[in-house]
C-alpha cells in the first residue's frame, strides 16, 4: 500500500499564533510531497512542492514566509502557518509520490485549520 | 497555463442510474489525465487515469476516455450505487509540469437508494 497520514486532523488556534501540520508517508519513502489548500466546495489549490533536503517551491501568490514548509526526511514534511489569521482557515491536504516520474499522488486525509 | 473544467454539481441520482460527469481541459502537448474521488472524511484516492490519447481508464465500473480532439475526459458509470456518493475531481498533469496536478472544481455526487 501507500498510506499518507496527517496530524493533526483538525486544529483551532488564535490569531497571531503559529500552527504546524505534519504529513507522513507511512509505508514508503517520498521524494516529493505536495501541499494543497481546499476551500469549502472548491477545488484543491497547489501551494507548494516539497523535495527532501531542499527548499520548497511555492506557487505564485503563496507567501513563503507565512507558509513554511520543511521536508526533513523522506517520510516527513511539515507545513507551519505562521502568524495565523482567520482568512487562513481552510482544509490543508498533503500528498506524496514515490519518485519523480511516477504520476500517482497519494493523498493524506487533510487537516482542518480554524483560526479564531 | 493548464486548466481543468468540470460540470457543476451537485449531482443527485437514484441507485442504478447512469452517471456522466463532464471534464474538459486546456493544456499544451499531451497531458496525463486523472479522476480522483474523495469520500466523506477521507483523502483523495486515484480512481482512474489515462496517459495518452484514446486511452480508456477504468476502475470499479467507472470509465473515462482520453479524447484529444475534444480535449475531454468525461467520467461514466452505467449503474451507480449509494456507496459511490462522494466528490469527484478531474485533474491533469502537464508534459512540462512533472507530477504537479491541476484539479477541476470537483463534483459532488449523491446517490439515493
SS3 B51: coil
> Looking at chain B, which residue has its C-alpha nearest residue A34?
B100
Distances (CA, A) of B33 to A21, A28, A41: 29, 24, 22
The 3-state DSSP class for residue A36 equals strand
- Contacts of B1 by beta carbon, 8 Å cutoff, 6+ apart: none
User: What do you get for the CA distance between the two ends of chain B, in Å?
Assistant: 41
- Which chain B residues are within 8 Å of A97, Cβ to Cβ? 99
C-alpha cell at A1: 500500500
* A56 interfacial to chain B (CB closer than 8 Å): no
Q: Which of B43, B100, B104 sits opposite A93 (nearest CB)?
A: B43
A33: closest CA of chain B, how far (Å): 10
B7 vs A22, A46, A66, B42, CA distance in Å?
33, 21, 34, 22
B32, B42, B106 member nearest A109 (Cβ): B42
Q: What is the pLDDT of residues A23-38, one digit of tens each?
A: 999 998 888 899 999 8
Q: What is the mean pLDDT of residues B1-25?
A: 93
Instruction: Show the cell assigned to B8.
Output: 457543476
Instruction: Say yes or no for a CB contact (<8 Å) between B45 and A107.
Output: yes
pLDDT at position B47:
96
**A63–chain B nearest CA distance, Å:** 19
**Closest residue on chain B to A103 (Cα):** B99
Task: Return the pLDDT at A52.
Answer: 81
What pLDDT sits at residue B89?
A: 95
Point out the least confidently predicted range of A42-46, A101-105, B68-72: A101-105
Residues of chain B with Cβ-Cβ distance to A4 below 8 Å are: 43
CB pairs under 8 A between A and B: 50
Choose among B102, B64, B74: nearest CA to B11: B74
In the predicted structure, residue A101 carries a pLDDT above the cut 60: no
d(CA B41, CA B45): 12
CB A29 within 8 A of CB A98: yes
pLDDT range class, residue A59, cuts 50, 70, 90: very high
Distance from CA of A38 to the nearest CA of B (A): 10
Q: Does A26 touch chain B (CB under 8 A)?
A: no
pLDDT band at A103 (very low <50, low <70, confident <90, very high): low
pLDDT bin (cut points 50, 70, 90) of residue A2 is confident
Average pLDDT in the A46-65 region?
90
A 10 A CB-CB count for B7 gives 16
pLDDT recorded at residue A54: 83
Q: How many CB atoms lie within 10 A of CB B107?
A: 21
Mean pLDDT, residues B59-67 taken together: 97
* A50 → chain B, closest CA residue: B100
In the predicted model, what is the mean pLDDT of chain A? 90
Residue B30 has pLDDT above 80, yes or no: yes
Given a contact cutoff of 8 angstroms between Cβ atoms, the answer to whether A31 and A97 are in contact is yes
Torsion sign, CA atoms B52, B56, B58, B63: positive
Mean pLDDT, residues B51-60 = 95
With pLDDT > 90 as the criterion, what percentage of chain A qualifies? 67
Amino acid at each position: 500500500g501507500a498510506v499518507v497520514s496527517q496530524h493533526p486532523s483538525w486544529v483551532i488556534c488564535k490569531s497571531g499564533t503559529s500552527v504546524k501540520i505534519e504529513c507522513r508517508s507511512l509505508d514508503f519513502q517520498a521524494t516529493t510531497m505536495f501541499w494543497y489548500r481546499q476551500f469549502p466546495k472548491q477545488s484543491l489549490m497547489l501551494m507548494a512542492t516539497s523535495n527532501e533536503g531542499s527548499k520548497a517551491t511555492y506557487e505564485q501568490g503563496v507567501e513563503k514566509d507565512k507558509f513554511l514548509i520543511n521536508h526533513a526526511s523522506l517520510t516527513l514534511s511539515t507545513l507551519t502557518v505562521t502568524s495565523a489569521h482567520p482568512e487562513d482557515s481552510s482544509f490543508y491536504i498533503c500528498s506524496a509520490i514515490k519518485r519523480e516520474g511516477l504520476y500517482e499522488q497519494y493523498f493524506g486525509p487533510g487537516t482542518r485549520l480554524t483560526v479564531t | 497555463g493548464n486548466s481543468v473544467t468540470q460540470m457543476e454539481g451537485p449531482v443527485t441520482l437514484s441507485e442504478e442510474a447512469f452517471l456522466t460527469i463532464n471534464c474538459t481541459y486546456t493544456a499544451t502537448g499531451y497531458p496525463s489525465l486523472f479522476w480522483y474521488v474523495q469520500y466523506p472524511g477521507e483523502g483523495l484516492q486515484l480512481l482512474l487515469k489515462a496517459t495518452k490519447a484514446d486511452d480508456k481508464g477504468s476502475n470499479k465500473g467507472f470509465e473515462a476516455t482520453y479524447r484529444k480532439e475534444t480535449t475531454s475526459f468525461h467520467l461514466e458509470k452505467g449503474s451507480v450505487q449509494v456507496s459511490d456518493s462522494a466528490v469527484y475531481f478531474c485533474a491533469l498533469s502537464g508534459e512540462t509540469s512533472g507530477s504537479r496536478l491541476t484539479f477541476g472544481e470537483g463534483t459532488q455526487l449523491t446517490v439515493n437508494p
